[in-house]
């Protein structure tokens, strides 16, 4: 074993945590510093090291920047139009108050596909207030299922940024990630959502807080909720259709070339999201009389939260490439193969440790993907198994949200919880999602 490489990786991971957690340096520059340090300790020349960082960042951003940008644009249009609120209200009307917890879980599951987690929560939390006020029950009975649906989709199901970034770094098929993300996400959402909410709402009875800066769309006509569902689901169906039709599930020789070409084109994430954006731009904007200048402003504003994620993902790709080019990744892969730990459990633990130490789920996912990627390159894994690596990393990056995570304070503020109550509800919910996610992933490892 090359102990110099082992030392380089160990020092790199320690420094990454120190820079982000102790010195509060943004993870983007911290990952670049660590990438250079690992390269230097491993004996890379400056030219080779810089080229490795450049190639890793450029190769990652070519895909991720496009998908995250298109997804952010789509979410901005949906938010501006009031489509999220309209869809939520529609689902609640269908379910009735008795099943409101389940309806809110489904709402969160759908809405978080195109809309960032924190934005979706702020948009939908007034609906939670309204139901809790009407039923006179603890707000957690309705908030926890909504949060569970939002958190699971945000972590498990593309085209949300986290799983897209991890899938690209690991070389996973997005269609498989979507399929398995739904399979893993459903039991996780049920247990951590309505079932846990029913339990915790009896232990923590919280009254509705007074929040004055919430967004409201009561004064504008909301879009047709069925149209919103179609627009959200369309790109996912196209991506999954491509994965299924062009995989070994079908005999490709029996599919005419022009059909295969069309499916391959329309099912690519770029094309699928462009189609969804164009439909949303017309149906949610032009058709409803929205001024083109206003649409342009909405589009420009929607890119702002995507910028940080895109750069962070690029730095994660650079770190991955350094590990690959120094052969440190091969050493990690061979060490893991000679040990008894399950590869999915290894990926989960790495992501979980980074998440607990520095708080950001996105940073934990991207850093863990960089560390795990050489293991995949050194192993003979199927497309479905690589997709399960993505889910396991996402599970680890979801665990134990606490005081160093902005989500902890966001949820506490909007639900009127003190720190102890937030730990007893939100933190436990995220841990349930993580544990059910990794356990289900390991089970599916032996099925697919």
Question: 258-316: per-residue pLDDT in tens?
Answer: 888 888 899 888 898 899 899 989 998 888 888 888 888 888 888 876 777 788 878 88
d(CA 95, CA 414): 24
Mean pLDDT is highest, among 98-102, 331-335, 395-399, for 395-399
DSSP secondary structure letter of residue 207: P
Range of the domain at 434: 3-445
The separation between the first and the last C-alpha atoms of the chain, rounded to the nearest angstrom, is 33
130 token code pair: 């309204």
* Mean pLDDT over each residue of the chain, to the nearest integer: 85
Give CA–CA dist 335/332, Å, rounded.
5
Contact criterion met (CB below 8 Å) for 166 and 392: no
Q: Residues 20-49: pLDDT tens digits?
A: 767 878 878 988 999 999 899 988 999 999
Name the CA dihedral angle for 419, 425, 427, 433, rounded to a multiple of 10 degrees.
-170
Say if CB 78 and CB 217 are below 8 A apart.
Answer: no
401, 408 in Cβ contact below 8 A?
yes
What mean pLDDT do residues 208-231 have? 67
Q: For 361-375, what is each residue's pLDDT tens digit? A: 888 898 889 888 888
Confidence band, pLDDT 50/70/90 cuts, at residue 7 = confident
**Predicted TM-score (pTM) of this structure:** 0.78
pLDDT for 112 beyond 60: yes
Inter-axis angle of helices 383-396 and 361-377, nearest 10:
150
The answer to whether the CB of 389 falls within 8 A of the CB of 347 is: yes
Which of 100-104, 133-137, 139-143, 218-222 has the lowest average pLDDT?
Answer: 218-222
Alpha helices in 82-139 (DSSP H): 83-95, 100-111, 117-135
Instruction: Compute the average pLDDT of residues 179-183.
Output: 95
- DSSP state letter for 427: I
Q: Please tell me the total count of domains within the chain.
A: 1
Q: What share of the chain in percent tops pLDDT 70?
A: 92
CB-count burial class (<10 Å; 0-12, 13-18, 19+) for 130: middle
Note the pLDDT of residue 250: 54
Q: Which residues contact 199 (CB under 8 A, 6 or more apart)?
A: none
Q: CA of 236: how far to CAs of 120, 182, 240, 272, in Å? A: 19, 11, 6, 8
> Which is nearest to 347 in space by CA: 402, 387, 407, 400?
387
CA distance 353 to 205: 32
Nearest-CA neighbor of 157 among 100, 101, 115?
115
Place of tokens 């945590």: 17
Q: What is the DSSP string of 365-378?
A: HHHHHHHHHHHHHT
Phi, psi (degrees; rounded to nearest 5) at 232: -70, -45
Predicted local distance difference test score (pLDDT) of residue 219: 45
Buried b (16+ CB within 10 A) or exposed e, 313-350: bbbbbbbbbbbbbbebbbbbbeebeeeeeebbebbbbb
Q: How far apart are CA 326 and CA 306, in angstroms?
A: 31
Q: Which residues of 300-309 are buried (b: 16+ CB within 10 A; e: fewer)?
A: eebeebbeeb
**Res. 215: pLDDT tops 60:** no
Separation between Cα atoms, residue 191 and residue 178, nearest integer Å = 20
pLDDT of residue 117: 84
DSSP for residue 326: T
CA angle 157, 431, 405 (to 5 degrees): 80
Token readout for 302 is 């929607």
State how far the alpha carbon of 76 is from the alpha carbons of 86, 116, 281, in Å.
Answer: 15, 9, 10
């Amino acid at each position: 074993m090359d102990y110099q490489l082992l030392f380089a990786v160990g020092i790199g991971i320690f420094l990454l945590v120190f820079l982000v957690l102790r010195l509060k340096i943004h993870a983007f520059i911290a990952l670049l510093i660590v990438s250079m340090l690992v390269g230097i300790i491993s004996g890379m020349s400056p030219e080779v090291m810089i080229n490795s960082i450049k190639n890793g960042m450029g190769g990652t951003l070519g895909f991720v920047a496009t998908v995250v940008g298109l997804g952010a644009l789509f979410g901005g249009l949906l938010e501006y139009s009031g489509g999220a609120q309209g869809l939520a209200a529609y689902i609640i009307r269908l379910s009735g108050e008795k099943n409101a917890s389940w309806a809110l879980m489904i709402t969160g599951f759908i809405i978080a596909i195109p809309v960032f987690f924190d934005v979706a929560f702020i948009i939908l939390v007034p609906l939670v207030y309204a139901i809790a006020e009407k039923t006179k029950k603890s707000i957690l009975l309705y908030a926890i299922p909504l949060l569970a649906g939002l958190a699971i989709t945000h972590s498990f199901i593309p085209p949300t940024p986290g799983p897209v970034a991890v899938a690209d770094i690991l070389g996973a098929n997005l269609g498989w990630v979507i399929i398995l993300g739904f399979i893993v996400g459903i039991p996780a959402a049920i247990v951590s959502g309505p079932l846990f909410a029913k339990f915790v709402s009896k232990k923590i009875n919280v009254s509705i807080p007074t929040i004055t800066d919430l967004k409201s769309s009561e004064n504008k006509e909301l879009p047709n909720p069925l149209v919103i569902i179609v627009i959200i689901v369309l790109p996912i169906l196209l991506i999954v259709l491509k994965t299924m039709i062009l995989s070994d599930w079908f005999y490709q020789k029996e599919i005419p070339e022009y059909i295969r070409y069309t499916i391959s084109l329309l099912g690519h994430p770029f094309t699928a999201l462009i189609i969804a954006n164009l439909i949303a731009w017309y149906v949610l904007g032009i058709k409803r009389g929205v001024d083109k200048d206003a649409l342009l402003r909405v589009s420009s504003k929607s890119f702002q939260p995507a910028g940080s994620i895109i750069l962070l993902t690029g730095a994660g790709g650079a770190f991955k490439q350094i590990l690959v080019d120094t052969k440190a990744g091969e050493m990690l892969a061979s060490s893991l193969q000679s040990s008894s730990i399950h590869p999915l459990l290894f990926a989960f633990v790495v992501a979980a440790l980074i998440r607990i130490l520095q708080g950001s789920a996105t940073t934990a996912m991207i850093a863990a993907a960089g560390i795990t990627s050489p293991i995949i390159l050194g192993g003979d894994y199927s497309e479905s198994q690589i997709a399960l690596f993505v889910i396991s990393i996402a599970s680890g990056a979801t665990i134990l949200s606490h005081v160093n995570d902005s989500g902890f304070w966001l949820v506490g503020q909007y639900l009127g919880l003190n720190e102890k109550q937030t730990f007893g509800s939100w933190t436990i919910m995220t841990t349930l999602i993580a544990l059910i996610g990794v356990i289900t992933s390991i089970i599916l490892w032996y099925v697919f």
